[in-house]
Amino acid sequence: MKRRTFLKSTGLAGTLGLLKPGFSWAMGNTANNGNILVTVFLGGGADGLSIVAPVGEGSYHDLRPTLALQTPGSGVNASLDVDGFFAMHPAMSKLHQRFSQGELAVVQATGLTNDSHSHFDSQSLMERGIAFEQNIHDGWLNRHLAALSGEDPVFHAVGLHDSLPRTMAGDYPAISMSSIEDFGLDLGGAQEQTLENTLSALYNKTSLLDIEAAKAIAAMAELRTANPQEHEPANGAVYPDTNFGQRFRQLGQLIRSDLGLASASLALNGWDHHDNEAQALPGLLRELSDTLDAFATDMGTDMNRITVVTMSEFGRRAFENSSAGCDHGYGSFMLAMGGGVLGGQVYGEWPGLAPKDLVFSGDLNITTDYRTVLAELLRKRFEQNDFQQVFPGWVPSQELDLFVS
Amino acid sequence: MDTTPSKGNKFKLPEDVHFLNRISYGPTPETVALVANMGWDAVLENQLHPESIDTSVIDNALILEQPVLAFSPKDIAESNDPEIVSKAVSGFVGASLIRQLYSPAQLYERMVEFWSDHFNMNILDGRVYVFKASDDKEAIRPNALGKFRDLLHANARSPAMLLYLDNYSNTKFGPNENYARELLELHTLGVDGGYTEADVVAVARAFTGWTIDEETLEFTFRPGLHDSGKKRVLGQKIKTVQNGGIGDGEQVLDLLAIHPSTAHFISTKLARRFVSDNPPEALVADMAEVFLETDGDIKALLHTLFHSDEFWASTELKMKRPVDLMTSVYRRLGLTQDDNTSNYLRYKLDQMGQIPFLWETPDGYPDTAEYWTNTAALVNRWNVAKDAAYFLPRGRYLEMLDGANTVNGIIQAMSIALIDRKLKKNELRKIRKNIYPSKLPNKPIKGNLIPSARTVAIALLSSRYFQMR
């Protein structure tokens, strides 16, 4: 039963504001095995062909005379060999090393099987876990959590984000926070308690605003007790001093605080490279690579239960445009790192870049629906079996055998 | 997701305040009195004609304070000042906020904000900062209450937009579709407006050669870069005219500016901004009809909107966006711009994620409660309420209390001063029980009244009644 329906049918909605730290959100039988899912959305349409590039394919160099990555071993700017055919962008040296150590896997020619080419449509569909417009408004990760939800702690699902990511939005109560530091009223003592109680009493209805207010009050109290900021990064991990890097650092602190975190969503935006891609891409890729690497270092052996997966709303056109960038495309890539990942391999059937292999206006095709990757991950690591609930209208296809349970 | 506030226990909000919540950046004692005296419809007519409103005080003050506002793109680009980028950006963003806070032409500023969102560009993307202030001055402001067609043409030629959506480099030798796609999807027809991928390609070809002159930094059309081949857009043939090909793009703009999908899309967005997140279809249909009848006359659209029953039935259905929240706090409490409050304003808008002109993608800052309502946002909003209550000097509390010294009296006086109404019993009791647990409701209380009045102020400013508009 969905939580909102539950609250309405029992008339319990009015007591929402009375929730105190430690109280659970939902009813039912939990299936929480201690594993943690971290999703990273690369907003803007990340160019998979410049990130894990098919340098072994002749057409690639023809389509991208100025942008193609240089073949491995060809000098200072050479790409980093992955499997003799694909090679990683040189800015990803740290993730390349994780790949070589078998901790990171790549899926190529994957993505959302919808050719809208619109950022907003594509991202919205992807976050809702559907490929075509349906009357579905919540996120796939929210439905995954709702299907399993048990006696979950307040911090079970956290979006470290400016707003709550659509992926996590819906009836299952997820917390959004842009930073730990700012998540409190900072009044101290009795006045803070008085104010929280007053707000609980005033926000006691069932609208979105009331529900978010009740969550915020419970979460503030929980954080006061847990004090996650006392945890310094471990094992010498150094996170980039960027918004994204620092949010991953704080994710590490939340995990270390034993608040019961099981899912987190983050985003790194800015991949819409219509022009001068070669100037813009390295910085972003380094930020992504160094952040994920620092997180894995920080988490140490806990990475055995944490799985990070990345996705982007679409890839970019197979050929470069006249502004040394690439227009909106179709097939893209995903990365998976950490617990259960059979790393060191590139997964997915490669459709090729010859003219006959391209689709729409000259785009890389998709051979693996992004949900195939997510469903395998949810099934093997998070005890999910109800894929009609998580990805409505989608028929699961052959798994890639990219994860072990 | 259900984003409408619950019914029941609803306070009666005076119509005047509802009107001011929507056409302005928050009611002030002065504007409440003005609407009471003139009537809302007269105020609306006046606000729809900003040319008759004297804004010289604020215009002159801004130029004195921010000389960079008088700079042309060339002045900015050629400046030797090592801090020119931050001066150009913060000068322009600051001026926009100051106008929202203090300009008497409030509806005009709301429409400037609306179109700035509609034709969004990120001022920190590449060299957009060089051009954005002149885009505001020359494309948005002169047309904000004019005809949509003029606004669309001005935007298509605006160097800031040519740069932001890459059309400056869109040539027959290498088309760049970025502008063409967003022109159809975001500026005119809407994503379901009935265009195809082939239309995107044709529109991109129509705009080849529309670029920025490297010398003057102004719009220029370069026939040599234009693809003069045949084009069909939305099933219509683009006529070849003898002006080197600039007519292709102009015909596309004209076609889009009066298209029924555009009429519907613009009407929906206006109704979403001024009425509710999911605006009633009947209102949108009425507005779309007016759009088509008047050739996209923005004044006529707003006139229809504000005279509709749907508008008057939409009291407090809109969640304040961070800019709305901050400006309404400042206006309600009469906070002025000194260094502290000005830095505070920027700091909070940054924290809440809505510094004007910094939204990265071309769709503009979201306009629905769903995006702005989440735990992090609420904690930030409650902190704003707290800070505002502590900014207020003792004298202002005494003014607001107006002699009240009982628990109920204090709460109601603060409520009238901050959220424009007397609380109903039920909510009055909730505040009383939590903030004055051991006091009788109607007996004068002794000692310093301010600390508890401050807690009441934080609660009221944190409540839905101040978070919604």
Angle between helices B246-257 and B148-157 (to 10 degrees): 150
Instruction: Find, among A316, A319, A320, the residue nearest to A330 by Cα.
Output: A316
Q: Give me chain A's average pLDDT, please.
A: 90
Distance CA A287, CA A74 (A): 24
Angle between helices B375-391 and B322-333 (to 10 degrees): 20
Q: Which residues contact A397 (CB under 8 A, 6 or more apart)?
A: A369, A372
DSSP H or E segment with residue B8: none
pLDDT the model gives residue A32: 62
- Say whether pLDDT at B198 is over 80: yes
- List phi, psi (to 5°) of B46: -60, -45
Instruction: Find, among B388, B179, B18, B113, the residue nearest to A272 by Cα.
Output: B179
- Say whether pLDDT at B84 is over 80: yes
Shortest alpha-carbon distance between residue A226 and chain B (Å): 17
Contact B430 A328 (CB under 8 A): no
Chain B: residue whose CA lies nearest to A119: B361
Antiparallel, parallel or unpaired: β A104-111 and A368-369: parallel
Instruction: Find, among A230, A178, A332, A121, the residue nearest to B181 by Cα.
Output: A121
Which residue in A137, A162, A194 is closest to B434 by CB distance? A194
Judging contacts by C-beta atoms under 8 Å, the chain B residues touching residue A43 are 361
Over range A96-121, report the average pLDDT.
Answer: 96
DSSP H or E segment with residue B409: helix B407-419
Q: Which residues contact B201 (CB under 8 A, 6 or more apart)?
A: A361, B175, B177, B180
pTM: 0.85
Which residue in B4, B185, B435 is closest to A198 by CB distance? B435
Q: Which B-chain residues 287-326 have CB contacts (< 8 A) with chain A? A: 319
Which residue in B201, B369, B455 is closest to A195 by CB distance? B455
Residue A381 CB neighbours (<10 A): 22
Q: Which residues of A31-49 are buried (b: 16+ CB within 10 A; e: fewer)?
A: ebeebbbbbbbbbbbbbbb
Q: Is the ipTM of this structure higher than 0.85? A: yes
Contact B434 A201 (CB under 8 A): yes
Chain B: residue whose CA lies nearest to A218: B375
Flag whether residue B83 sits within 8 Å of chain A, measured between CB atoms: no
Which residue in B174, B369, B463 is closest to A202 by CB distance? B463
Residue B254 CB neighbours (<10 A): 14
pLDDT the model gives residue A14: 35
Chain B: residue whose CA lies nearest to A206: B6
Q: Which residues contact B413 (CB under 8 A, 6 or more apart)?
A: B400, B401, B402, B404
Express each pLDDT in B121-130 by its tens digit: 999 988 999 9
pLDDT the model gives residue B401: 96
- How far is C-alpha B90 from the chain's CA centre? 18
- Say whether pLDDT at A163 is over 50: yes
Distance CA B109, CA B242 (A): 40
Distance CA A274, CA A316 (A): 9
Task: Please tell me what DSSP assigns to residue B187.
Answer: I
Residue A283 CB neighbours (<10 A): 12
Contact B363 A212 (CB under 8 A): no
Residue A244 CB neighbours (<10 A): 22
Interface mutation target, options B122, B277, B378, chain A, most CBs of A under 10 Å: B378
Chain A: residue whose CA lies nearest to B361: A44
Three-state secondary structure call for residue B319? strand
Shortest alpha-carbon distance between residue A212 and chain B (Å): 5
Judging contacts by C-beta atoms under 8 Å, the chain A residues touching residue B369 are 208-209
pLDDT the model gives residue B341: 73
Express each pLDDT in B260-277 by its tens digit: 999 999 999 999 999 999
Express each pLDDT in A375-404 by its tens digit: 999 999 999 999 999 999 999 999 999 999
- Say whether pLDDT at A1 is over 70: no
Q: Which residues contact B292 (CB under 8 A, 6 or more apart)?
A: B258, B260, B263
Residue B177 CB neighbours (<10 A): 26
Judging contacts by C-beta atoms under 8 Å, the chain B residues touching residue A169 are 1, 370
Contact B176 A201 (CB under 8 A): no
Contact B185 A202 (CB under 8 A): no
Chain A: residue whose CA lies nearest to B352: A162
Greatest mean pLDDT among A129-138, A146-155, A340-349, B388-397 lies in A340-349
Bridge partners of B237? B232
Express each pLDDT in A76-86 by its tens digit: 899 999 999 99
Contact B374 A170 (CB under 8 A): no
Q: How many CB pairs under 8 A join A and B?
A: 175
Confidence of residue A170 (pLDDT cuts 50, 70, 90): confident
pLDDT the model gives residue A4: 33
Contact A202 B431 (CB under 8 A): yes
- How far is C-alpha B107 from the chain's CA centre? 10
Instruction: Find, among A183, A184, A161, A159, the residue nearest to A172 by Cα.
Output: A159
Shortest alpha-carbon distance between residue B269 and chain A (Å): 16
Flag whether residue B458 sits within 8 Å of chain A, measured between CB atoms: yes
Task: Please tell me what DSSP assigns to residue B221.
Answer: E
Distance CA B182, CA A219 (A): 39
Express each pLDDT in B19-61 by its tens digit: 999 999 999 989 999 999 999 999 999 999 999 999 999 999 9
pLDDT the model gives residue B12: 58
pLDDT the model gives residue A339: 96
Contact A208 B1 (CB under 8 A): yes
Q: How much of chain B, in percent, has pLDDT values that exceed 90?
A: 90
For chain B, the residue count is 469
Express each pLDDT in B318-338 by its tens digit: 999 999 999 999 999 988 777
Flag whether residue B374 sits within 8 Å of chain A, measured between CB atoms: yes
- How far is C-alpha A145 from the chain's CA centre? 15
Express each pLDDT in A33-70 by its tens digit: 899 999 999 999 999 999 999 999 999 999 999 999 99
Judging contacts by C-beta atoms under 8 Å, the chain B residues touching residue A137 are 1
Instruction: Find, among A53, A105, A47, the residue nearest to A377 by Cα.
Output: A105
Contact A207 B191 (CB under 8 A): no
DSSP string, B132-184: HHHHIIIIIGGGTTSBHHHHHHHHHH-HHHHHHTSGGG-BTTB---HHHHHII
Contact B314, B276 (CB under 8 A): yes
DSSP string, B232-264: EETTEEPPP-SSTTHHHHHHHHHHHHT-HHHHH
Chain A: residue whose CA lies nearest to B172: A322
HEC-encoded secondary structure of chain A: CCHHHHHHHHCHHHHHHHCCCCCCCCCCCCCCCCCEEEEEEEECCCCHHHHEECCCCHHHHHHCCCCCCECCCCCCCECEECCCCCEECHHHHHHHHHHHCCCEEEEEEEECCCCCCCHHHHHHHHHHCCCCCCCCCCCHHHHHHHHHCCCCCCCCEEEECCCCCHHHCCCCCCEEECCCCCCCCCCCHHHHHHHHHHHHHHCCCCCHHHHHHHHHHHHHHHHHHHCHHHCCCCCCCCCCCCHHHHHHHHHHHHHHCCCCCCEEEEEEECCCCCCCHHHHHHHHHHHHHHHHHHHHHHHHHHHHHEEEEEEECCCECCCCCCCCCCCECCCEEEEEEECCECCCCEECCCCCCCHHHCECCCECCCCEEHHHHHHHHHHHHHCCCCHHHHCCCCCCCCCCCCECC
What is the end-to-end Cα distance of chain B in Å, rounded? 19
DSSP H or E segment with residue B211: strand B210-212
Which residue in B366, B378, B383 is closest to A213 by CB distance? B378
Distance CA B450, CA B159 (A): 54
Contact A208 B369 (CB under 8 A): yes
pLDDT the model gives residue A164: 86
Q: Give me chain B's average pLDDT, please.
A: 94
Contact B377 A163 (CB under 8 A): yes
DSSP string, B56-111: HHHHHHHHHH-GGGG--HHHHHH---TTHHHHHHHHHHHHHHHHHHH-S-HHHHHH
Q: Which residues contact B64 (CB under 8 A, 6 or more apart)?
A: none
Distance CA A395, CA A205 (A): 38
Flag whether residue B167 sits within 8 Å of chain A, measured between CB atoms: no
- List phi, psi (to 5°) of A78: -65, 150
Bridge partners of A158? A175, A264
Contact A274 B463 (CB under 8 A): no
Contact A44 B380 (CB under 8 A): no
Shortest alpha-carbon distance between residue B130 and chain A (Å): 18
CA geometry: angle A333, A339, A343, nearest 5 deg: 50
Contact B462 A195 (CB under 8 A): yes
Judging contacts by C-beta atoms under 8 Å, the chain A residues touching residue B363 are 119-120
Residue with tokens 């010398």: B215
Express each pLDDT in A195-231 by its tens digit: 999 999 999 998 989 999 999 999 998 998 899 999 9
Flag whether residue B383 sits within 8 Å of chain A, measured between CB atoms: yes
CA atoms within 13 A of residue B214's CA, in its CB half-sphere? 1
Instruction: Find, among B415, B416, B413, B406, the residue nearest to B446 by Cα.
Output: B406
What is the end-to-end Cα distance of chain A in Å, rounded? 27
Shortest alpha-carbon distance between residue B239 and chain A (Å): 25
Flag whether residue B24 sits within 8 Å of chain A, measured between CB atoms: no
Tokens of A401: 């055998």
Q: Which B-chain residues 421-450 have CB contacts (< 8 A) with chain A? A: 427, 430-431, 433-435
Bridge partners of A333? A108
Contact A102, A128 (CB under 8 A): no
Distance CA A267, CA A246 (A): 12
Shortest alpha-carbon distance between residue B2 and chain A (Å): 6
Contact A322 B169 (CB under 8 A): yes
